[in-house]
Chain A
C-alpha cells in the first residue's frame, strides 16, 4: 500500500550541480504534480501532468524540467542547482481532471533538498 513514493528523502548539492528527483505512484492516477514547500509560503506548484504524455508549467517552473516517463512515474530535474532552490519538494497524484474535478491529491513524504 505504498501510494506515492519519492526518492531520495534527503540530498545536499553544490551550486551548479544537477539532480533528478524521482516520484512513482501505484494508484493508477492520471494526474501528477510537483510542488515545493518553503516556510510561510504553503505549497507552490512547479509543474504538473494531467495525463501520460502531457506536462504543463505551474506557478514556479523556472530552473526545473519534468518528464512523465509513464503513467506511474513523474520526475523533476534541476539542471543547474541554485541556493534559491533549497526547499522541500513534494510529488502528488490524483484522479484525472476535467468534469471529475475536486479530486483529492495524494502526496509523497517529500524530498528535503539543500543547495550550498
Chain B
C-alpha cells in the first residue's frame, strides 16, 4: 500500500511568518497534486507537479517535487489569515488518475 506522510500535522503561526509543509513517501509517483480544503467544503486543487525537481510558484506559494518523485514540499512566504486551511498532497501512481492522499496539514494563520 502506498502511503503519503505529511508533516507537520498541525501548524499555528502568526501572519507574516514563513512555513514549509512536507509530503513524503517511499513510493514513486508519476505526478503529485496539492489541494487546500476549507471547513465545510471539499478540497480544491492548487497545483500539479509532474517532473522530478520541478518547482512551481503560485503567488506566495512555492511547490517542489523531489528529484526521485517520492516527496514534495509546499513553502508559504509571508503567510496571511486567508491561507488558513487543511493542505493535502495527493500522489498519482501511473496514469490511473487514482490518487493516494496524504494525511493532511492543518494550518492556522493568526492575524
Interface residues of A (CB under 8 A from B): 4, 31, 35, 40-45, 48, 50, 58-59, 90, 92, 94-110
CB pair B95–A101 under 8 Å, yes or no, is yes
Q: Beyond the given A102-B48, A105-B97, could you list 11 further A-B residue pairs with CB under 8 A, ordered by the A residue number?
A: A40-B103, A42-B101, A43-B101, A45-B99, A59-B1, A98-B95, A99-B95, A100-B97, A101-B92, A102-B97, A107-B43
| Residues in chain A near residue B9, CB distance under 8 A | 40
When A and B form their complex, what is the total count of cross-chain residue pairs whose Cβ atoms lie within 8 Å? 74
Question: Count of chain B residues with Cβ under 8 Å from any Cβ of A?
Answer: 28
Minimum CB–CB distance from A64 to chain B (whole Å) comes to 16
Across the two chains, which residue of chain B brings its CB closest to A35? B101
| Residues in chain B near residue A97, CB distance under 8 A | 95-98
Interface residues of B (CB under 8 A from A): 1, 4, 6, 9, 30-31, 33, 40-45, 48, 50, 88, 90, 92, 94-99, 101-104
